Structure 1
Amino acid sequence: MGEPSLRERALRHLARRDHSRAELTRKLTPHGDADEVEAVIARMSELGLQSDTRYAEAFVRGKAGRFGSSRLRNELARRGIDRDLIDAALDSECLESEAERARAVLRGRFASAPADAREWARQARFLQTRGFAPDLIRKLLKEPYDESA
């Protein structure tokens, strides 16, 4: 059997999971020239097999429970998604508020409120790496820890 065509390669990638246009371009570029790759991706978009909007919404839906908006925004931008599509995906898919998501992430990782400055810094760093805003982190770590949650 010969080597698969660009179209077949694109279909294989898209059959596994949604890809952004930029990701698909990066994966197909070593196997054909730029015009061929662009034509194949344009055709996949026409057929509805590739959609940056659908990709962004699925990405946010899958990761919103673990990450803050700034991290989601940065990850999508890194994957070549347009800023307007990112904003639309965050608005439509993040049903919980940023504070509720941060609280859930914090409670899922740490069993108790910070007892000293070192533990406070540890929990703050954890939330910061997850992409939550510094003012939200300060607010969460100052509020009383609710054991029932």
Structure 2
Amino acid sequence: MSVEDVDEQAQDKPKASKALGFQPSLKGRALRLLSQREHSRQELEQKLKPYEEIPGELAQALDFLQAKDFINDQRVVESVVNRRASKMGAARIQQELRSKGLDDHVMAETLNGLRATETERARDVWRKKFGQPPQDAKERAQQMRYLLSRGFASDTVRRIISQPTEHSD
């Protein structure tokens, strides 16, 4: 094989890899996911595990991204709260955060803040959906189930349904 043949083969490799469906690195895939929204480390592991070719490669890539602060649990908490707080109660948000593999100590302060505003947020959700007190027991049960399914505390739901026009608690 001559030098020219080797040069030709080297030039063909990038084209060949694109033709075969070039796959980005695990780090590249993780960065693409992180550019769309905040992800916890556990979420990234679940999504990227099928693409790991060498054992330990994924953990190494995620360690690098975490060291560079691309993966940050506090930002994940803030992102979820910003998206969900206007529609969901603290229990539902806590459930979502746990499903993302976040520790209780990371979300404790934020959840305490959510619980402090839960009555006001529940009243807003109730007002948007129903707007008027229940007329009978069936409507009352429907309104209560709706708010409970959104993760609002049962005592808060009872307070909202029994006194829907009260503005502060």
TM-score, normalisation: structure 1: 0.90
**Partner SS state of residue 71, structure 2:** coil
Please say if 1:59 is aligned against 2:80. Answer: yes
2:129 aligned to which of 109, 115, 119: 109
Deviations 1:122-148 (A, max 9, x none): 0000000000111111111111536xx
**Partner SS state of residue 119, structure 1:** helix
Q: How far off is 1:111 after superposition? A: 2.1
Equivalent residue for 1:139?
159
Equivalent residue for 2:46?
26
Distance in 2 (CA, whole Å) between partners of 1:109 and 1:56 is 26
**Partner SS state of residue 105, structure 1:** helix
Distance in 2 (CA, whole Å) between partners of 1:119 and 1:13 is 43
Mark the CA change 1:41 to 1:89 in structure 2 (over 3 Å): closer, same or farther: farther
**Runs of 4+ with deviation above 2 angstroms:** 88-92
Equivalent residue for 2:6?
none
8 Å CA contact retained: 1:53, 1:89: no
Q: How far off is 1:96 after superposition? A: 6.2
Equivalent residue for 1:125?
145
Distance in 1 (CA, whole Å) between partners of 2:73 and 2:55 is 19
Counterparts of 1:21-100 in structure 2, within 5 Å, are: 21-32=41-52, 33-91=54-112, 94=114, 97-100=117-120
Q: Which runs of 5+ in 2 are unaligned?
A: 1-17
Choose 1 or 2 for highest CA Rg: 2
More moved, 136-145 vs 107-116: 136-145
8 Å CA contact retained: 1:68, 1:102: yes
Distance in 1 (CA, whole Å) between partners of 2:55 and 2:124 is 45
Distance in 1 (CA, whole Å) between partners of 2:32 and 2:139 is 47
> Which amino acid is 1:88 matched to?
E
| Greater relative contact order structure (CA < 8 Å, 6+ sep) | 1
Mark the CA change 1:34 to 1:134 in structure 2 (over 3 Å): closer, same or farther: farther
> Which amino acid is 1:20 matched to?
S
8 Å CA contact retained: 2:90, 2:151: yes
> Which amino acid is 1:82 matched to?
D
8 Å CA contact retained: 1:67, 1:132: yes
8 Å CA contact retained: 1:21, 1:50: yes
